[in-house]
A and B are shown apart, each in its own frame.
Chain A
Amino acid sequence: MSVKNYGIYVAFPPTVDMRAQGLGRYLAALLNASKNDPNVRFVVACPVWARPSLLALCESEKIDPAGFDILSPKGTPALLRLFNLVYGRSFGRVSLNGGRFSRFWQKLKHSGLPLAYRIGLPFFKWTATNTGILAPVVLSVIFLPLGAVIVIGGFFATCVLTLREASNLLKRKPKFLDLWRRRTNKIARIYRNQKNNALLYALYQMMAEDQAKKLVKLANKRADIVAWYAPAAFWEEFNDIKAPKLMCVPDLVLNDFPVGYANPEVSRYAKSFQIVMRAIEGADHIVTYSEHIKQENVLKFYPKDPDKIHVIRHAPNTLHQLLVDKNGNPLSHEALKALLLTSLKKSSQKEYVASLNTTDIQFIFYASQFRPNKNVITLLRAYKHLLHRKFVSHKLLLTGKPDMVPQIKQFIYDHHLENDVLCLPGLSATQLAACYALADLAVNPSLSEGGCPFTFTEAMSVGTPAVMARIPVTMEVLDDSSLQDVMFFDPYDWQSLADRMEWALANKDHLFAIQTPVYNRLVQRTWGDVVNEHIDILHSLSKQEAGIA
C-alpha cells in the first residue's frame, strides 16, 4: 500500500510557544502516534516563525522531526525580524532572554568591574607599551569622541538637573520627564506582556493572516496531500484549501463564559472570536472531542449536517513514563521529592519558598492555567473551608499564574492563604508528574472543557486519586455510576467540592481502588487509536472527493 500524505495546518501567530499550548501537545500526540503507521505521512503546514516552535515541541515530546514534513513560506517578514532583534524571539530560538542590545546591556550592567577590568586592562597595557603611532591614533579616535560625548552629555544632564530643580521649586514635575517615564514604562510593559498588547497583537495578526494565505497557496499546489486537518478553528483561511478538509472545534469557551473572557486584559479574543465563528461557518467537516461540544457548541448554533460533525475522543494522558531514570527504572521517592522541591521554588510566593527545604508536606493538586472557565475561585472557597473550618492541613498547589487573573490573586491575599495556596507556573513535564505523584489528591473543578479533562488519567497513572466536576464532557467518558457517586461534585457549589475533597482525603485508598478498573479500561485507548480515527475520516473524505464509493 502506498504512503498517503495528509496535511496538518497550524497557522499560529508569532510568539506562540506550542509547547505551552494544549493544541501543541495534541499535535505532538498525533505526530508521535503516526510514526507507527508506515502508510501515513503527515505534512505540517505552518508559518515560517512556527518552525522553531514546532521543532522545540518535538524535542520536548521526544518526537523525531524526520518522521514528518514541514511546509512553510520562504523568508521572514521584515517587521518580525525587527521584533526579534529587539525582543530576542529570534528565528532559531524560542527564548525570552531579550534582543542582542538588551543582552549586551544586561551583561554590562551585571558584570561591572570584572568585565571592565577584563577589557580595560589589556587595552591599557597596550596603550602604555605601544611605541608606534597607532596607539595615539586609537586613543584619539576613542577619547576625542568620548570627550565630546561627555561634554555634550554633561551639558544635557545639567539642563535636566536644572529643570528638575526649577520644577521642584515650582512643585511641578517637568512634563517631558513624566512623558519619558510613561513611554519607558509602556515599553517595559509591552516587553513583559507582548501577548496582551493590542497594537502588537494587531501587527502579529497581520503577519499571521498573510502567512496563512501563503500557506493555503502552498497547500493547493500539493496535489499529493489527499486531505487536510486543522487542529483548531482559529484559521478561516483553512477553508480555502481545495482538498478535502477536516476542522477540529475543541470548544467555544468564549461563548460559554462571555463576561469572564471579556476582560480587557485579554481583548485580543474579540477579533479571534469572530474569526472562529467564520471558520466554523465555512467548515465542511468538523471533528469535536465530545458529543457535548458537537451538540451544544456546533449544532446548536450552526445549521450543519450532523453526519458531517464527527466525535473523536482523546486518548488518555499518562505521566508515569516521565518518572523514570536513565535506565528506565522508576524514580525513587527521594528523587520525586527533589523534583517537588524544585517545583515549589517556582512559586510566585518567593519569600515563602526562599528558605523552604522540606518536602514533607501534604497537598492537593490542580494542574491548569488560570482561565475564566477553570473555576479556581470555587476551589479556593472550598479549600479555605477545609483549612479554616475543618482543619484539613493540606496545602493547595496550583500551576497557574496569579498575576493573569487579579481576582484569584486578590482572593488568596484577602483570605490570608498565600502561604498555603502556592502557584507554581512553568513546571516542566517531569515536575508536573512528580507533583501529581506526591499529591494526596488531584482535583479538577473546571466548568467547561472540550473533552474529558486529562486530570483523571494523569493522576491515576502515578498513583493519585482524583475528584472532578460533574460536567457533561467528563460524564461522557467516566460513565460508571458508582464511580460518579464518589468522585464527582457540583462545580457550582463550593460546599459540594469541599465535602468531596474531605471525603476523598479521608478515603484515599478506597477511592483509588474504585477508580483503578476504570483507569485500566480508559488507558486501553491510545493516541494511535486517535490518529487512526482521524485518518479514517480523512481517508473517507478523500475517497468521497475522488468519487469512490
Chain B
Amino acid sequence: MNRPVRIAVILPVPYRGGSLRGAQMLAEALLLGSRQAGEPAEIVLAHLDEPDKYSDHHFADLHPDIRRRPYQWQTLYKKTAERAMIYARQDWHAESPLYLAPDDGINQFYDCDLWVIVSDRLLHPLLPIRPTVHMVYDYIQRYEPILPHGQDYPYLEAARKAQAVMVTTRFTEQDALNYAGVEREKLHKVPMLVPKFTRMERASGIAEEPPYFIWTTNPSPHKNHPNAFLALREYYDVLGGTLKCHITGAMTENLLEAKFPNLAPVSELAKKSENIRKNVLCLGELADSLYQSRLERAAFLWHAGRIDNGTFSVVEAAHLGVPSLSSDYPAMREMDEMFKLNLAWMDPNNPMDMARALKKMEVEANERRKLLPAEEMLNEHSVEHSALAYWKVVRSCL
C-alpha cells in the first residue's frame, strides 16, 4: 500500500509563544506547499510530552489536517545507535558516544520520511536514520553571551550535519555561513511566515487610560533591558516624556523585581527613579484579545531588543494601524523592506538616542500612521503564499 510522504516537524525543546506559533506555521506551510506542488504530504507536529507545558489550547490554531504527536528524547549509546542503523540497512559508523532519537512510543518517527527540526537546539547528534532539515531562526549567541562557552558546539554541529538548513533572513543566512559553518549548498533562504492576523472583538471593560506606548518583551538578555530602562529614565526625567510605558509579554509582570540576573540593573534603576515607577506598568502576558485591545489604543509599539531574527509584533501593530519604533539591526531592516512598514529607527546601543527617538515618536506617531502599508499588502505574505518555497527545500532532501 503506497502512502503519501510523511514529514515530522519536531520541536526539540518546549517552545511556547512565538516559537510555537512559528512551528505550527512551518508545519502548515509544508502541508499547503506539498498540495500546491501536487504531492500532498502528511505532516506530523511533534512536541515534548510535557502536559504542564502543552495542552490542547496551545494548538487551537493548528491546521486540522496536521497530526500532533508527543515524544521524549531517547539517548542512545554508540553501540545501540550503530545497531539501529544496521537494522535500518544504512552503512554508518558512530563518531559520537551518544545520539538522540525522538521517541514517540510508536516507532521513533521512523514512519516519517524526513524530520524538520525547529531550531538547532540538540544536546547530542541526532541519530541520522532519516534525512533532517533544520529551521534555524537566529544565532543570537554570536552577538549576546546567552550561552556558556562552547555550549553551542552541538547546535552548530547539528546544522552542519543536516541535509539542509532553512533561514528566513539574509542576516541569519550570513550567520549560518560564517558563524555556524554550514555549507552554502545546504543553506536555503525561505520567506518569513507571517501569522494570519485575526482582528478580535475589542475587549471590553478597559477603562480609559492616559496615553501610552506598548513595549512587548520578555526577560531574555538580548532584549536590551538595561539600555531600554536608561532610555526611559532619560525620556521621563530629562526629555519630559508624557506617554506611559505598558510592558507586556511572557514573564514580564516581575520585570522590575530582579528575578533574573540580567535584570538586576533594571531593578536598581527602577528603585531610584520615581518617574519610572510612576509611568512604567508591567502587565505580564496578556490574552490575545486583551493584548490587541491595548495595542490598538497605544500611540505606538516600541521594539527595543538589540538583536534577533525580527519580531512580528511590528507587523501585528501595522495591521491595527499602530506605527512602531524599532531598534535598528539587520533583521528589522529586512522586515521593514519586506512589509513596507516604514518603521522609525533608534540605536539600541545608545540609550540617549533611544530616549530621543521615543520623544520624537511621541510627537510623530499620529503622522506615521499614514505611512503604514495597506491591509492587502500585509496579507501578501501569508503562509499560503510562501508555502511552496518550504516544500521545495524539503522535497529536495527526500
Task: Tell me the A residues contacting B by CB distance below 8 Å.
Answer: 254-264, 267, 269-270, 273-274, 292, 301, 372-373, 375, 377-378, 381, 407, 411, 447, 472, 475, 491-493
Contacts and interface: CB of A to CB of B under 8 A. Distances in A.
B87 A262 contact: yes
Contact of A259 (B1, B67, B79, B101): B101
A259 B74 contact: yes
Interface stretch (B105-113, B230-238, B264-272, B372-380): B105-113
A273 B87 CA distance: 7
A254 B106 contact: no
A263 B89 CA distance: 16
A259 B106 contact: no
Contacts of B107: 256-257, 259-260, 372-373, 447
A259 B110 CA distance: 8
Interface string B40-79: 0000100000000000000000000001010000101101
B84 A262 contact: yes
A375 B76 CA distance: 20
B111 A255 contact: no
B80 interface: yes
Given A259-B129, A262-B81, A375-B106, A492 B87 contact: no
A355 B107 CA distance: 38
Which A-B residue pairs are the 5 nearest by beta carbons? A377-B105, A258-B87, A262-B84, A258-B88, A262-B83
Interface residues of B, number: 27
B86 A270 contact: yes
Given A260-B108, A292-B1, A255 B80 contact: no
B127 interface: yes
B87 A261 contact: yes
Nearest to A475: B1
A258 B105 contact: no
Contacts of B84: 258-259, 261-262
B67 A492 contact: yes
Contacts of A292: 1
10 contacts: A256-B110, A257-B107, A258-B86, A264-B79, A269-B87, A274-B86, A377-B106, A407-B103, A472-B1, A492-B44
Contacts of B80: 262-264
Given A258-B87, A270-B86, A264 B106 contact: no
Contacts of B101: 259
A292 B74 CA distance: 30
B106 A492 contact: yes
Contact of B77 (A260, A264, A375): A264
A475 B2 CA distance: 13
Contacts of A257: 87, 107, 110
A292 B105 CA distance: 24
Interface of B: 1, 44, 67, 69, 74, 76-77, 79-81, 83-89, 101, 103, 105-108, 110-111, 127, 129
A172 B79 CA distance: 34
A269 to B, nearest CB: 8
Contact of B76 (A259, A267, A372): A259
B110 A258 contact: yes
A124 B52 CA distance: 72
Contacts of B89: 255, 301
A378 to B, nearest CB: 6
Contacts of B105: 377-378, 381, 407, 411
Contacts of A260: 107-108
Nearest to A496: B67
Nearest to B69: A492
A267 B89 CA distance: 16
Nearest to A408: B105
Contacts, number: 76
Given A258-B85, A261-B83, A262-B87, 9 more contacts: A256-B107, A259-B74, A261-B87, A262-B76, A262-B83, A269-B87, A273-B87, A372-B107, A378-B106
A258 B77 CA distance: 14
B369 to A, nearest CB: 46
A372 B69 CA distance: 17
A273 B85 CA distance: 12
A292 B1 CA distance: 8
A292 to B, nearest CB: 7
Contacts of B127: 259
Nearest to A379: B105
Contacts of A262: 76, 80-81, 83-84, 87
Contacts of B111: 447, 492
A377 B85 CA distance: 23
B106 A447 contact: yes
Contacts of A377: 105-106
A263 B81 CA distance: 9
Nearest to B108: A259
Contacts of A375: 106
B106 A267 contact: no
A260 B103 CA distance: 9
A232 B107 CA distance: 24
Most B CB within 10 A of own CB, among A254, A258, A264, A267: A258
Nearest to A372: B107
A377 B108 CA distance: 12
Nearest to A380: B105
A375 B111 CA distance: 13
A260 B76 CA distance: 11
B78 to A, nearest CB: 11
A408 to B, nearest CB: 9
Between B76, B81, B88, the greatest number of chain A beta carbons within 10 A of the residue's beta carbon is seen for B88
Nearest to B51: A415
B89 to A, nearest CB: 7
Contacts of A493: 67
A377 B105 CA distance: 5
A377 B74 CA distance: 15
Contacts of B129: 258-259
Nearest to B79: A264
Contacts of B86: 258, 270, 273-274
A58 to B, nearest CB: 35
Contacts of B76: 259, 262
Contacts of B74: 259
A472 B81 CA distance: 28
Contact of A255 (B69, B77, B87, B108): B87
A261 B77 CA distance: 14
Contacts of A267: 79, 83
A493 to B, nearest CB: 6
Contacts of A261: 83-84, 87
B21 to A, nearest CB: 22
Contacts of A263: 80
A375 B108 CA distance: 11
A500 B211 CA distance: 56
Most chain B CB neighbours (cut-off 10 Å) among A257, A269, A377, A381:
A257
Contacts of A274: 86
A378 B79 CA distance: 27
Contacts of A491: 106
A270 B106 contact: no
A262 B84 CA distance: 5
Most buried by A among B44, B87, B108: B87
A372 B106 CA distance: 8
A262 B80 CA distance: 5
B347 to A, nearest CB: 51
A372 B107 CA distance: 7
Contacts of B103: 259, 407
